[in-house]
């Protein structure tokens, strides 16, 4: 079973669209760090690095880079004079990314901006990537078109996204689980089913050599307890479940977590492609 690292009760997917309105982003940073450390996520990231040909001499853009977790990691694979850039809508996350880059002694072009209108000239990068960004966007196709514009012909892209409908949890009441998880899938993010049409979207946008890798990610216990408990609260607020249901849900999660037996998963997908 996974490790237990304290409560993360305030984290919800919905908030990743307006992080700068949150009073404190510390829990979001921690949640992303914990999730990022999951073995299956690390495997997908390694496959992305291999398939996009990240190496000394390449220039890379990370769209929706957050506080630069993977951006900084990729920068270590490049030479000192090579271009690594990260862009994110959240000023607080970009400030944290800049702080971390300075601490690591890395010159990374971190800037605040919108994935829908990237502030780079065409064909500026060899590689473009986005991780857990597109499900939050109303128009992911436009963001991918923008990524296509700023990556050179023959360059590569890597997109890592979950299918939110594939969340699972070992609470025993199937009806309750289905009601709460379906509600989250329908309201948590604008594009919970995006990966089901992402391959076709890339083809239609003229990408070639599309490859897909998948992993089922097993949640860290503390992260799962905070995140899934919050889904119950959100379903209750929307009137999808009643007070008794919520009490059963939160009680079951606390009990499972207390015994180190909480088991939650989600399916993640990596799409890599060549910009023709
Ligand atoms: C779940 S976080 C993922 C961050 C990072 N990619 C990671 O994997 O750690 C989603 C990120 O998308 C950013 N975001 C949401 N909408 C955006 C937009 N229109 N343009 C740029 N970034 C956006 C959020 O600010 C947030 O940092």
Closest CA to 104 of 130, 74, 129: 74
* Domain membership flag for residue 223: yes
Ligand 1 mutation pick, 30, 31, 134, 136, max ligand atoms within 8 A of CB: 136
* Domain membership flag for residue 256: yes
CB of 90 sitting under 6 A from ligand 1? yes
* Domain membership flag for residue 5: no
Q: What is the CATH number of the domain that holds 195?
A: 3.40.50.150
The torsion of the CA quartet 31, 34, 39, 43, rounded to 10 degrees, works out to: 60
Q: Is 64 left (phi over 0), alpha (psi -120 to 50) or beta?
A: left
Instruction: Give residue-wise pLDDT tens across range 198-215.
Output: 999 999 999 999 999 999
Model confidence band, residue 19 (pLDDT cutoffs 50, 70, 90): confident
Instruction: Give residue-wise pLDDT tens across range 101-159.
Output: 999 999 999 999 999 999 999 999 999 999 999 999 999 999 999 999 999 999 999 99
Q: How many CB atoms lie within 10 A of CB 240?
A: 17
* Domain membership flag for residue 156: yes
Specify the residue for token string 């992993």: 215
Say yes or no to pLDDT of 5 above 60. no
Closest CA to 132 of 232, 27, 266: 266
Ligand 1 mutation pick, 94, 133, 160, 164, max ligand atoms within 8 A of CB: 133
Q: Terminal CA-to-CA distance of the chain, rounded, Å? A: 44
Q: Look at residue 151 in the predicted model and tell me its pLDDT.
A: 98
The secondary structure of residue 100, as a DSSP letter, is H
Domains in the chain: how many in total? 1
Q: Which atom of ligand 1 is nearest to the CA of 87?
A: 21
Closest CA to 132 of 110, 108, 163, 156: 163
Task: Compute the distance between CA of residue 111 and CA of residue 91 in angstroms, rounded to an integer.
Answer: 8
Average pLDDT, the chain: 94
CA distances from 169 to 24, 132, 174, 236, 260 (A): 28, 21, 10, 18, 13
* Domain membership flag for residue 18: yes
Element (H, E) at 88: strand 84-88
Task: Compute the distance between CA of residue 30 and CA of residue 36 in angstroms, rounded to an integer.
Answer: 10
* Domain membership flag for residue 231: yes
Element (H, E) at 209: strand 207-218
- Domain range for 25: 13-275
Q: What is the pTM of this model?
A: 0.95
Say yes or no to pLDDT of 24 above 60. yes
* Domain membership flag for residue 8: no
Tokens of 57: 């001499």
* Domain membership flag for residue 6: no
CB 117 within 8 A of CB 146: yes
CB of 125 sitting under 6 A from ligand 1? no
């Amino acid at each position: 079973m996974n490790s237990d690292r304290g409560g993360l009760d305030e984290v919800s997917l919905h908030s990743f669209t307006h992080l700068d309105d949150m009073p404190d982003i510390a829990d979001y940073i921690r949640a992303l760090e914990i999730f990022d450390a999951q073995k299956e996520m690390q495997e997908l990231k390694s496959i992305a690095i291999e398939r996009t040909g990240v190496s000394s001499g390449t220039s890379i853009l990370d769209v929706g880079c957050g506080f630069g977790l993977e951006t900084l990691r990729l920068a270590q694979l490049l030479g000192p004079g090579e271009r690594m850039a990260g862009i994110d809508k959240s000023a607080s996350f970009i400030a944290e990314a800049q702080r971390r880059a300075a601490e690591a002694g890395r010159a990374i072009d971190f800037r605040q901006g919108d994935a829908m209108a990237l502030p780079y000239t065409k064909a500026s990068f060899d590689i473009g990537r986005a991780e857990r960004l597109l499900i939050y966007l109303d128009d992911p196709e436009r963001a991918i078109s923008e990524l296509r514009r700023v990556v050179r012909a023959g360059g590569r892209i890597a997109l890592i996204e979950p299918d939110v409908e594939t969340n699972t949890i070992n609470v025993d009441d199937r009806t309750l689980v289905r009601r709460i998880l379906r509600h989250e899938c329908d309201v948590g993010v604008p594009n919970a089913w995006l990966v089901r049409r992402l391959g076709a979207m890339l083809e239609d946008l003229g990408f070639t050599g599309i490859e897909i890798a998948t992993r089922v990610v097993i949640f860290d216990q503390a992260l799962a307890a905070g995140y899934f408990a919050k889904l119950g609260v959100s379903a209750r607020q929307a009137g999808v479940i009643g007070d008794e249901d919520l009490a059963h849900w939160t009680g079951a999660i606390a009990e499972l977590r207390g015994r180190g037996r909480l088991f939650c998963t989600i399916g993640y997908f990596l799409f890599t492609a060549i910009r023709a």
